[in-house]
Amino acid sequence: MSTIKAVIHDTATTASVHDVPKPTPGPSELLVKVSHVGLNPVDAKLGQPGSRVGFDFVGEVVALGADAPSDKFKPGDRVSGIVHGSALPNQGTAAEYTAVEAAFAFHIPQSVADADAVTYDTSALTPAIALYDKLGLPLPPATVPGSPWFLVSGGATTVGLFAIQYAKRAGLRVIATASKRSEALVRSFGADVVVDYHDPQAAIAQVKNATAGGEVAYAFEAAGTWDIILGSIKPGAKVSTVTGPPTTPPAGVDIAPVWLLTAFKTAPAIFPYNGRDAAALAAAVAQLPAFIDAGLKPIPVDLRSGLERIPEGLDELRAGKVSGKKLVYKI
């Protein structure tokens, strides 16, 4: 049996490099030689002991499963995408090779470097589903009439930086919450107004002031407490969340969660597989190359090298030391 190096969660809070079986692509999968891996908070928070780390990757296609679309992919293609990492022994991108559903892989535009390309995976795909599928915003070049306000709670999160860009493309005016340290970053990704979240009442007052009385029609929750969102939105606003709705959702507010895990047939019982969510993820993946060609910016990268350094990155994520950037590892 052929083996490869991969980073495995030894316990809920520790990981190390192991020799593991080389993946074999399933019928609808591609086998990819990984060049870069990106880490996400979910790898640090939900890592199952014995599972392979990693959802995000960039690499080169080396083989196709029997039913994978050979008119779309071929060996040698440079691809990126997303797998169900940190949950199962045989899936995860923090490895020399990974298998990926062909529907969840995309060709990287030539202008984009590998290290930047990996930032378009979980971080760009999650808010794409939230804004286009859950909130129903129009795809570019269409825009929402009247330029309503869009609130991003957690503007400096990786998903927030992409949500801001999508919202601006939809013609919305964007107000984002962030620390002072991240204000310039969040503005550079398109936020029109940035409010500090550390004093929620002051933040709500600033939102009302900036939006002439609280005309926030849409919100995306990526971090923070719900008080700023619920105190800022107008009646009938549409909200999407990636960390979960409030325990007692207020009446009259439509709050749609996004759970990437529900797009995978291997999803755990608490996030059961949902074919509609799989289709939404596949649609978001398919849209990405055109979005990138049209100017969707990658987020800042902290580029490191070697599988053996990944456990240190997981520790930094657990300790909340990663801000305004993606930890990316060259393999």
Ligand X SMILES: NC(=O)c1ccc[n+]([C@@H]2O[C@H](COP(=O)([O-])OP(=O)(O)OC[C@H]3O[C@@H](n4cnc5c(N)ncnc54)[C@H](OP(=O)(O)O)[C@@H]3O)[C@@H](O)[C@H]2O)c1
Q: Which residues bind ligand X (CB under 6 A)?
A: 40-42, 122-123, 126, 153-154, 156-159, 177-179, 181-182, 197, 222-224, 242-243, 258-260, 322-324
25 vs 224 by CB, closer to ligand X = 224
Least gap, CB of 224 to ligand X (angstroms) = 3
Q: Is 226 helix (H, G, I), strand (E, B) or coil?
A: helix
In angstroms, the CA 27 to CA 90 distance is 15
Strand intervals (E) in the chain = 3-9, 15-21, 29-38, 56-64, 78-82, 97-101, 105-107, 149-153, 173-177, 193-195, 216-221, 233-241, 254-257, 301-305, 326-330
Least gap, CB of 261 to ligand X (angstroms) = 6
Least gap, CB of 181 to ligand X (angstroms) = 5
**Are the C-beta atoms of residues 254 and 217 closer than 8 Å to each other?**
no
In angstroms, the CA 196 to CA 202 distance is 8
97 vs 329 by CB, closer to ligand X = 329
Report which DSSP code applies to 176: E
Least gap, CB of 256 to ligand X (angstroms) = 11
Tokens of 290: 């055109």
8 vs 191 by CB, closer to ligand X = 191
Least gap, CB of 258 to ligand X (angstroms) = 5
In angstroms, the CA 331 to CA 325 distance is 19
65 vs 224 by CB, closer to ligand X = 224
CA angle 285, 151, 247 (to 5 degrees): 90
In angstroms, the CA 98 to CA 56 distance is 10
68 vs 299 by CB, closer to ligand X = 299
32 vs 159 by CB, closer to ligand X = 159
Least gap, CB of 127 to ligand X (angstroms) = 8
Least gap, CB of 191 to ligand X (angstroms) = 11
**Are the C-beta atoms of residues 176 and 151 closer than 8 Å to each other?**
yes
What residue number has its CB nearest to ligand X?
A: 224
61 vs 168 by CB, closer to ligand X = 168
